[in-house]
Each structure stands twice: as structure tokens, then as C-alpha cells.
Amino acid sequence: MSFYTTRRASALAAIALMAAPVSASAQDAMSDSWQWGAELYFWGASLGGETTTGTDIDMGIDKIIEDLNFGLMGTVAAQKGKWTVFGDLIYLDVEEQGDTTVDVLGMNVDIDGKVDLRGVISTLGAGYRVYEGAGTQLDITGGLRYLWLDSTIELSAAGLNVKEEDSGTNIDGVVGFRGQSDINENWYLSYYGDVGTGESDLTWQAAAAINYRFQNFDVALGYRYLDWEFDDFGPFDDLNLSGAFLGAKFRF
């Protein structure tokens, strides 16, 4: 994998590090007034996939954390009756400096490099409850998934300075489901899945977690898988992000 592709992969995986399955954190009880909630998650996602040149991508969580410069994520959701609306925004800035030596016509040339990568994953959508009974609720969902990645690469070698900037966006429509099932008064299972297309050939995700209720918030421990099969998005043909997540759901 090239230096450029590796750094872009690091940025995208770092973005996913902060992401979480989008769901309403509002109170489960049906209500005629809006019930609001927020979620904060840490997703220890590793990155896999394939570049347009056929190179496999395999990057662990330890490398992603090493390159992380700044991250900000927020998710809000509101439920009224059978309807839920949700939105989230994840912003990451990854920066790395390094040097390497390459062979040019039999001579060793030192190259200094700096890579600054910024990215956003954003999801807006709505859900409608189609089943509720025996401690289980199930919603169908629909929305848009947006991906933006911007890179600036600066290289210096043999007195020459090169600066390259590149950015790309990707938007897909997705449909899916979201639900939860009680185990007892405090413990419950939550699950989410969607599939879609648009500027990607295909995107899909699946997540499941076990949750524990406290008085004003819940904690969740689970696993999530997210995949894109791109039609035209920079050097990537396919990307998948997978790993465990730990989070808190706040009700207000």
C-alpha cells in the first residue's frame, strides 16, 4: 500500500473510531411529546478492504490511535409517538510527519513528508415503530449516509517542495431496522442494520449490543460492522470497519 493510500486509510478509520450505531436514546415509553436523548460512543474499529490497485488494507486500532490529532462527535435523537428522528456528526483531523529514503537512479534520496487528513461521517434519518410487545420494540428506518475526506500532502526532497490537495464526498440512501428486546428490568439487547446505495455501489452495516439501564443513562457494549463498496472514491474500491464499541446513552 502506498504512503498516500495508507494515510487516507488511517484518517477514514480514525473517523470511524468515534462513530456509533445511530439510534434514539429517548425513553422507550410511547409519548405524545418529544423525548430527547444523546449518545456518546468509543468504537475501537479496525479497517480492512482493497484499493483500486488491488492492494489489501489491514490496519489495526493501535495505528489509528497513534495518528489521531483531534476528534469531535455528537449524536442527538428525538422520539414522539411511533416516530423517531436522528442525526449525528463526526469530525476527525489526523496529522502525521515522517521521513523515508528512496532509490532514484541508483542514488538514495531523503524525503520528508507531512500528511493532514480531515474527514466527516454524517447520518440523518427517521424511524417508524412497526412492532411493540412482550418487551420488544422494532422500528424501520431510512435516511442518508454522507462521507467526506480531505487530504493535504506536503513532500520535500533534494530542495524541491511538493504540495498536493485532494478531497472527495460520497452520499448514499439507506434503509434498515432498529430494535431492542428486554432481558429483565435492567438488561436489554439492542440491534441495528441497514443497507443502501447511491454514489456507492453498496453500503451496509450491522450492530448489536448488550445494555444496562441506570436511572438517567444506559451503558452499552457491542460490536459493529460497516462496509462500503465504492463506484469512484479516491484510491478505494472497498472499505470495511469493524470492532467492539463501548458507549453511554443519556436521556433528558
Structural domain boundaries, residue 24: 3-251
Buried b (16+ CB within 10 A) or exposed e, 187-225: ebbbbbbbebebbbeebbbbbebebebeeebbebebebe
For the whole model, what pTM was predicted? Answer: 0.76
CATH number at residue 183: 2.40.128.100
pLDDT of residue 64: 59
* Mean pLDDT (whole number) for 226-236: 82
Q: Is the pLDDT of residue 51 over 50?
A: yes
Write the single-letter amino acid at 251.
R
What gap in Å lies between CA 13 and CA 79, rounded to an integer? 31
Tell me how many domains the chain contains.
1
Name the band, by pLDDT with cuts 50, 70 and 90, for residue 27: very low
What gap in Å lies between CA 132 and CA 138, rounded to an integer? 7
pLDDT tens digits for 198-214? 999 999 989 999 999 99
pLDDT tens digits for 72-84? 666 788 999 999 9
pLDDT of residue 168: 81
Q: Do the beta carbons of residue 125 and residue 174 sit within 8 Å? A: yes
What gap in Å lies between CA 12 and CA 241, rounded to an integer? 9
